[in-house]
């Protein structure tokens, strides 16, 4: 029977906390990038900025 490295990694509560924090940071960064992109797109359509 093979060992599952993900299960072994997730047994330690410290590792679970690190994974949770990394996921939260990625979610916040993704949201910020989408918001900034949307604002820039709206400003481009409105003619305020030109590329």
Kindly list the distances between the CA atom of residue 9 and the CA atoms of 16, 17, 24, in Å, as whole numbers in the listed order.
8, 11, 19
Q: What is the pLDDT of residue 5?
A: 87
Alpha helices for the chain (secondary structure H): 5-10, 13-46
pLDDT, position 1: 54
Cα of 18 vs its chain's centroid, Å: 14
The chain-wide mean pLDDT, for the chain, equals 93
Instruction: Return the sign of the alpha-carbon dihedral for residues 42, 47, 48, 51.
Output: positive
Q: Is residue 48 over pLDDT 90?
A: yes
The per-residue pLDDT for range 10-34, each reduced to its tens digit, is 899 999 999 999 999 999 999 999 9
């Amino acid at each position: 029977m093979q060992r599952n490295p993900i299960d072994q990694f997730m047994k330690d509560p410290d590792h679970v906390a690190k994974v949770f924090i990394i996921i939260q940071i990625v979610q916040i960064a993704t949201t910020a990038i989408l918001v900034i992109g949307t604002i820039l797109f709206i400003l481009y359509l409105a003619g305020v900025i030109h590329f």
